[in-house]
Amino acid sequence: MKSFISNSVENTIELGSKIGALLNPGDVILLTGDLGAGKTHIAKGVGKALGVKRIINSPTFTIVKEYSGNNVKFYHLDLYRLDGLNNDFDLEEYIESDGICVIEWPHQIEEILPKEYLNIKLLRLDDNQRKIEIEGIGRYKKYEEMI
């Protein structure tokens, strides 16, 4: 596991961008942390690296937002309001796709998460500072080493 301290929103987005530059189609990132910890800022950085031109914001009220990047789809899932897995959403469709999938609040759907992923945990230290821990599970260990 690697740990970083971010001192600003811009630092958090930049770290997300560095991570995004390493990703390949089919990759899955799990983002955990309290409300306001910076999960969506990591997603913004990933999207920036993938060439997404649209504004990336929290999809809390729509669950999933889909973006087009440079030759890859970017799926941003925010499962905060989801109360466990139900049949109304085919979330596996996004998770198992050949796009890049970033999932906020992944504990809501543990039973359908892949066995291998990049886990990013954000901890709010104060108004500006965040501790960001990155752990690669399975084949994602290589990303942990590259960041």
pLDDT of residue 143: 87
CB 38 within 8 A of CB 5: no
CATH of the domain at 24: 3.40.50.300
Give residue 21's domain range: 2-146
The residue-averaged pLDDT of 36-53 equals 96
pLDDT of residue 87: 52
The residue-averaged pLDDT of 85-95 equals 75
The residue-averaged pLDDT of 123-130 equals 95
- Rounded to 10 degrees, the C-alpha dihedral 128/19/69/66 comes to -60
CB 116 within 8 A of CB 137: yes
pLDDT of residue 102: 97
Q: Name the residue among 117, 77, 74, 79 with its Cα closest to residue 98.
A: 74
- pTM for the complete prediction? 0.92
Work out how many domains the chain is built from and give that number.
1
74 or 59, higher pLDDT:
74
